[in-house]
Amino acid sequence: SMMVSTQSTGILFKDIMPIFNDPDLVRDTCQSLVDKISAFGKPDVIVGIEARGFLIGPIMAQQLKVPFVPIRKKGKLPRDCYSVKYEKEYGFDEFDMQVDALKEGDKVVIVDDLLATGGTLEAAKMLCDKIKAEVFAHCVIFELEFLKGRDKLKDPVISLVKYD
């Protein structure tokens, strides 16, 4: 089975790693997301969230022929960064994005592996907002619909696999 669930502190983790055993499946998964994005527009940039957004984001950016921009946990990126603090299921965390990573008006799609409560994607959007980039979609492989993360996000959510 592609999906493996593990319990940890009451949080359900969906494991995307088996996808990466199959290069064709990796390409096809990313291409499926790219195809769905086209219904909403053409991004100037793909923004990926550490860490699993780094696994699919650069591939999607390559397929779209656009740059990839990373959002990282606080203190990992060189040079000046915008920072945003956000609440997670188990406390607080902080994200950074380099101040020159995006330009005002850039059309952005934010990529991560999973939509749960939406806190992580919401924080990523807040960083894009600081630069006045336009987030027009959030893009994930898995969506845990019962956590209603989609309701928290103002922008369309693209997901391949939904769990209710």
Centre a 10 Å sphere on the Cβ of residue 25 and count the other Cβ atoms it contains.
Answer: 13
**What pTM does this model have?**
0.91
Spacing of C-alpha 137 from chain mean position: 10
Specify the DSSP class assigned to residue 147.
G
* pLDDT for 15: 79
* pLDDT for 5: 47
Q: CA–CA separation, 60 vs 55, rounded Å?
A: 10
Catalytic, 89? Answer yes
Amino acid sitting at position 115: L
Sequence-distant (6+) residues with CB within 8 A of 125 are: 110, 135, 138, 153, 154, 155
Indicate the angle between helix axes 53-64 and 23-37, nearest 10 degrees: 70
Catalytic option among 89, 94, 122, 143: 89
Catalytic, 150? Answer no
The most distant pair of C-alpha atoms in the chain lies apart, rounded to whole Å, by 43
Please determine, for residue 4, whether its predicted confidence score (pLDDT) is greater than 60. no
What tens digit of pLDDT does each residue of 104-116 get?
999 999 999 999 9
Specify the DSSP class assigned to residue 146.
G
What tens digit of pLDDT does each residue of 28-63 get?
999 999 999 999 999 999 999 999 999 999 999 999
Please determine, for residue 126, whether its predicted confidence score (pLDDT) is greater than 90. yes
Q: How far is CA 48 from CA 7, 9, 11, in A?
A: 25, 26, 22
